[in-house]
Amino acid sequence: MYKVRLQSVNGATDMQVKDIQIDSRKISEGSVFIAIRGEQTDGHAFINKAIGLGATAIVCEAFPSELKEGVTYVKVSNTHEAVAYMSHNFFGEPSLKMKLVGVTGTNGKTTIATVLFKLFTQLGYKCGLISTVQNQIGETIVPSTHTTPDAVSLNMLLKRMADEGCTHTFMECSSHAIHQHRITGLHFTGALFSNITHDHLDYHKTFDEYIRVKKSFFDGLGSDAFAISNLDDRRGEVMLQNTPAKKYFYSLKTLADFKGKILENALTGLVMLINEKEVHFRLIGEFNAYNLLCIYGAAVCLGEESSEVLRILSMLSGAEGRFDYIISSRHIIGIVDYAHTPDALENVLLTIKKLRKGYEQVITVVGCGGNRDKTKRPVMAQIACDLSDRAIFTSDNPRHEDPSEILKDMEAGLNSAAKRKFVSVVDRREAIKLAVSVANKEDIILLAGKGHEKYQIINDEYQPFDDKVVLMEMFQLLEK
């Protein structure tokens, strides 16, 4: 049981509360309202609204000017941290009732968490999954709105998983979630690091701060936990430098606890040596070779028998929208991938380069999200042109920005060779239609950036849009 450090209390403390909330709209009689200072709004502005709806206690960083009679006010230094500890306590410390494994890094989190969930389900356990694509309790799918939910929702979900008999839960831990204390107070059995590259600088401001936040996840582990890191990443060793957990590393390039070697990389999958055992996997590409090593290492650290782990892994597919491909009636290969960072886009295109026979065109449809890190826009545009025969720049969740201005940012840094390869089409459906119309037999079309997402975010509206569905529609429309 965690104790929240209090700075000041005004009012009675011997009361029973019904629930805890950080959203004033969810308050009812007997609720505790915790005022969070967010990126868009400050919960302190909604204290009186929460009281009007029935909140009997307020947790905040600054008392309001008027204190209402009959309401208890508690002042703390950091409400983000307080709500995490309070949620863990309120929901009965659910993370202690299962083996909880967190996955962090720029790329690969969803694949690693999802395949671990599939693997341990096949091994006979009832498992929980908390990921960008979806949350899952056994076979029950729970819709996902964030990579990592807020602390109240997260602990509520973990309690439900524990109550329904989950013995293992695999969870993506985003840098935002770590920084905002959404996972503070949880007891992790294991923590996994995939890699770290240029991303989320709109939020973290500097790359060093982004690294520091990721590293703090490992620094906060207990001595009874295990931590696994990618030794081939420049910062793989740094991530585990100060962790009290037991350290393990995986690598394709050097000696490590979990050592891999790619023997064959094709559209039919990967053939690898993992700790001297040869295995054929359905997953494709070097980036998935790293993911598989990390998954294998986690399973072994969780006490599973290595040969059985590899046997089941060889039969599993990855996460939706991660190198997800379909082949048209004209034998055009369409690949849908979530790659929305420079490194992820480069990895996918380099994988395609290794898999192609040499005479096919690679046509990349790519955009950059609005109200997000602008510095990666010209970088991604250049990568798309460098590693493709044709590039089509288009919308990708423009949010509150003008999509044509985002495309101008992408075009701004292109060299003269790249300028001859690209065209900008604001409408994403039209961009996909153009890609299919210019493709010939056995050409490869990459739709990058949205992957599993079933929407386009325009202003604050989530408009239905699914890259894979649109691609199949265009194949049918243009191949009659």
DSSP letter string, 210-259:
HHHHHHHHHHT--TTSEEEEETTSTTHHHHTTT-SSEEEEEESSS--SEE
What local confidence, expressed as pLDDT, does residue 304 receive? 98
What local confidence, expressed as pLDDT, does residue 153 receive? 93
What local confidence, expressed as pLDDT, does residue 163 receive? 98
Pairing of strands 390-393, 362-366: parallel
The token pair at 134 is 């979806």
Q: Is the pLDDT of residue 204 over 60?
A: no
What's the whole-number average pLDDT of the chain?
93
Higher pLDDT, 419 or 356: 419
Q: Are the C-beta atoms of 164 and 137 separated by less than 8 Å?
A: yes
Q: Is the pLDDT of residue 259 over 50?
A: yes
Q: How many residues does the chain have?
A: 480
Which domains does the chain carry?
A: 8-89 (3.40.1390.10), 92-313 (3.40.1190.10), 324-478 (3.90.190.20)
The token pair at 279 is 């295995």
pLDDT classification of 201: cutoffs 50, 70, 90 = very low
pLDDT classification of 145: cutoffs 50, 70, 90 = low
pLDDT tens-digit profile of 376-408? 999 999 999 999 999 999 999 999 999 999 999
Q: Determine the Cα–Cα distance for residues 434 and 184; give it in Å rounded to an integer.
A: 47
pLDDT classification of 146: cutoffs 50, 70, 90 = low
pLDDT tens-digit profile of 10-37? 999 898 999 999 999 999 999 999 999 9
pTM for this prediction:
0.81
| pLDDT (mean) for 246-260 | 98
| Cβ within 8 Å of residue 199, ≥6 positions away | 106, 210, 341, 343, 373, 376
Identify the bridge partners of residue 42 per DSSP, sorted by sequence position. 37
Q: Determine the Cα–Cα distance for residues 130 and 149; give it in Å rounded to an integer.
A: 8
Q: Is the pLDDT of residue 74 over 80?
A: yes
pLDDT tens-digit profile of 456-469? 999 999 999 999 99
DSSP-derived letter for residue 42 is B
Pairing of strands 8-10, 72-75: antiparallel
Q: Determine the Cα–Cα distance for residues 365 and 390; give it in Å rounded to an integer.
A: 9
What local confidence, expressed as pLDDT, does residue 426 receive? 97
Q: Is the pLDDT of residue 124 over 70?
A: yes
Query: What are the strands of the beta sheet with 19-21, ordered from one edge?
Result: 8-10, 72-75, 57-60, 31-34, 19-21
| pLDDT (mean) for 224-230 | 98
| pLDDT (mean) for 82-93 | 96
Looking at the chain, the whole-number percentage of residues with pLDDT higher than 90 is 81
Q: Are the C-beta atoms of 342 and 379 separated by less than 8 Å?
A: yes
What local confidence, expressed as pLDDT, does residue 374 receive? 92
pLDDT tens-digit profile of 38-59? 878 899 999 999 999 999 999 9
Q: For the residues of 282-318, what is the DSSP string, one character each?
A: S--SHHHHHHHHHHHHHHHHTT--HHHHHHHHTT---
Q: What ranges in 93-198 are assigned the alpha helix state H?
A: 109-122, 151-163, 175-179
What local confidence, expressed as pLDDT, does residue 200 receive? 45
pLDDT classification of 230: cutoffs 50, 70, 90 = very high
Q: Are the C-beta atoms of 163 and 133 separated by less than 8 Å?
A: no
What local confidence, expressed as pLDDT, does residue 323 receive? 87
Pairing of strands 246-251, 226-230: parallel
pLDDT tens-digit profile of 401-428? 999 999 999 999 899 999 999 999 999 9
| pLDDT (mean) for 471-476 | 95
